[in-house]
Structure 1
Amino acid sequence: MSEKNSTTETSVPLLAWGLLVLLALVWGSSFILIKKSLHVYSITEVAAGRVFLAFLFFVPVLLRSWRTIPKPLLKIFFISGMLGYLIPAFLIAIAQSEITSALAGTLNAVSPMFTMIVGVLFFARTTNRMQVAGLLIALGGALLLIFTKAGVAIPEVNSYALLIVLATLCYGTNINVVSKFYGDLSPVVSTAWIFAFVGPLSFGILLFTDFFGKMAEPANWMPSSFLISLGVLASGLMSVLFNRVIQLSSAVFAASVTYLMPIVALSWGLLDSETVGIQQWAGTVVILVGVYLINRRRKARKMSLELDNPLS
């Protein structure tokens, strides 16, 4: 039994890798979309708006599946919606009002560390020395970024950067929740029900803002399209694919998307004339070294299992 489980955890199908790259491209671009949306929309409107728009995307799925959803999971869906979407949306929007999109994107690389820590402490996950070493190296790179503001090294902690780190703690916790409770559910259905509670909550928040008036203004079509992309594509469709990656592989592998996102976020930042200093580049490189060690260990372990069990 242990051999089978280990093989399942270490054997990552090609489809999971393909979806991981697609997720990195879309989610890595979300930070520049947040930045552009904040030119017109407030922090509250961007954060609650993207969650509400994602909820609208899933309404047809909710209408079709409400009779079959396991009732004991309703509380878990709410927790997952708060930790995985609504709370991080506000934390990231607040942070990006003061830091660059490139820095926000690269800081998301802390997520796998929290995925592992929360998994080991509360979800009975196991790990190995090489995996821990890789995540610690990646965390070291993230610490370099925490002491960066607008691409320039600063002598004190950037408090807005810490908001991104707090968001990744929420992400890491939610990844473990998804992995533990939603394994037998369709990724589309489980993701839709995650938004079933936070979507209406976001709508209630938006009623106290000028969100709908701004959406109806033709002059705002560009930032509105950015916000719609954040909701429907990044928070909606990509969330389905992310849950599918977890089902195909593991929570830690799925969280590795945050190692690829910095490349995309940095690229968009440079194209948008953001300042990216040496310390930020160094932090990103250190993070990528960490994920290389993790993936190298995973492949080596897979080969060993195949030799030990030629019938696998």
Structure 2
Amino acid sequence: MKPVLMLLLLSLLWGSSFLWIKGLLDVFDPPSIVFIRCIFGLLILLPLVLRMPGKFNWRPGWKFVGAVSLGAAIPWTILAMALQGIDTTVSGVLNATTPLFAVVFSVFVFKMKPVWSQMMSLGIGFVAVVILLVTSSGSSSGGFSFGHALLMLFVTVCYAMNSLLVGRNYKDVPSVVLGFWTMLVSMILNGVLSLIVQPGAILELADMSVLGPILVLGCLCSGLGYMIFYWITSNGGPLVALMVTFMAPFVTITLGVLILGEPLHWGIGVGLCLMVLSLVFMNLETIKARRLAGRGI
């Protein structure tokens, strides 16, 4: 299957994850959602890890555990908390700020010199977030909380730091192994929290109306989603894989409006368009370099 078709599938899976989490919040506390989600995600990745040669020759350290914790254990729990106070449509657009924070950390933490297009990207992205937050305060279906919106932005901060730390320090670790450890650490940490705040959470899976969404969220959005993302990265390149950042919010907004009945106010449309424009500027130099390389220049 061509990378573009896999990209469409990945956008559908990751873009719909907000919908499933929002529904499961009626039954589970945030740590319980992440705990059970990671269990089913691991069931998808475990067979692939066990088939890899030399899989037990590498042992993770505490720095590695901290890095992968920023990929799921911390942000997934906070994401579920954020969705308790904002619509999925808003969270989907805010989630697209992850690359913006990656640029900020690259410049101010890792001392990388930015190019003009990246600075332009940050400016446009900032305007998009301000417009979205201001217009959403009085247009949410279930109330809007600036505090929960800030939690969503903290989620993207975690994602950005995770991508930078893993990319700089663990790029030689196979992608499937990274995904496996990301969900394993998340399962353990959130499992402890789940036992404290909702000890009987696992019993809720006896209800098929609960089991179905958590299976989709865990097996498809998490486990299969990781596999597809790594496949796209290997076969289509990281630039193609990054396109999911552009496409997933459209899926999230469409599902939120059609299924959850969330309002589609002008701030969401303008904010999303500006965010896409921001991401285009962010990757402008990379796109130009790939075009020149394709022409043999």
**TM-score range relative to shorter protein:** 0.7 to 0.9
Offset of residue 112 of structure 1: 0.6
Instruction: Select which of 94, 116, 131 maps to 1:144.
Output: 131
1:288 counterpart residue number: 276
2:17 counterpart residue number: 30
Instruction: Select which of 98, 106, 112 maps to 1:111.
Output: 98
SS in 1 for 2:97: helix
**Could you say if the C-alpha distance between residues 185 and 299 of structure 1 is closer, same or farther in structure 2, counting changes exceeding 3 Å?**
same
SS in 1 for 2:96: helix
Offset of residue 276 of structure 1: 2.0
Q: Which amino acid in 2 is paired with 1:128?
A: V
CA RMSD of aligned residues (A): 3.0
- Distance in 1 (CA, whole Å) between partners of 2:158 and 2:63 is 14
Instruction: Select which of 121, 129, 136 maps to 2:116.
Output: 129
2:213 counterpart residue number: 226
- Distance in 2 (CA, whole Å) between partners of 1:100 and 1:174 is 25
SS in 2 for 1:231: helix
- Distance in 2 (CA, whole Å) between partners of 1:235 and 1:292 is 26
SS in 2 for 1:189: helix
1:213 aligns with 2:208: no
Offset of residue 114 of structure 1: 1.1
Larger deviation: 139-148 or 122-131? 122-131
Which 5+ residue runs of structure 2 have no aligned equivalent? none
1:303 counterpart residue number: 291
1:94 aligns with 2:81: yes
Kindly provide the CA deviation profile for residues 222-247 of structure 1, in whole angstroms up to 9, marking residues without a partner as x.
23211222122222221233345556
Give the number of equivalent residue pairs.
289
Instruction: Select which of 245, 257, 281 maps to 1:258.
Output: 245
SS in 1 for 2:70: helix
SS in 2 for 1:174: helix
1:59 counterpart residue number: 46
1:173 counterpart residue number: 161
**Could you say if the C-alpha distance between residues 213 and 119 of structure 1 is closer, same or farther in structure 2, counting changes exceeding 3 Å?**
same
Offset of residue 160 of structure 1: 0.7
2:264 counterpart residue number: 276
Q: Which amino acid in 1 is paired with 2:96?
A: A
Give the TM-score normalised by structure 2. Answer: 0.83
Offset of residue 126 of structure 1: 5.3
Asked if the contact 2:103–2:118 (Cα under 8 Å) also holds between the matched residues in 1, the reply is no
Offset of residue 25 of structure 1: 1.7
1:198 counterpart residue number: 186
1:159 aligns with 2:147: yes
Offset of residue 33 of structure 1: 0.8
- Distance in 1 (CA, whole Å) between partners of 2:105 and 2:56 is 27
- Distance in 2 (CA, whole Å) between partners of 1:287 and 1:268 is 19
Kindly provide the CA deviation profile for residues 45-99 of structure 1, in whole angstroms up to 9, marking residues without a partner as x.
2233223332343334455559535546443441233101011111111111121
Offset of residue 200 of structure 1: 2.6
**Structure 1 runs, 4 residues or longer, greater than 6 Å off:** none
Kindly provide the CA deviation profile for residues 126-159 of structure 1, in whole angstroms up to 9, marking residues without a partner as x.
542123313431332122223324735xxx9711
**Could you say if the C-alpha distance between residues 256 and 171 of structure 1 is closer, same or farther in structure 2, counting changes exceeding 3 Å?**
farther
- Distance in 2 (CA, whole Å) between partners of 1:246 and 1:123 is 24
**Could you say if the C-alpha distance between residues 70 and 118 of structure 1 is closer, same or farther in structure 2, counting changes exceeding 3 Å?**
farther
**Could you say if the C-alpha distance between residues 149 and 49 of structure 1 is closer, same or farther in structure 2, counting changes exceeding 3 Å?**
farther
Q: Which amino acid in 1 is paired with 2:33?
A: V
SS in 1 for 2:74: helix
Offset of residue 264 of structure 1: 0.7
Offset of residue 297 of structure 1: 4.5
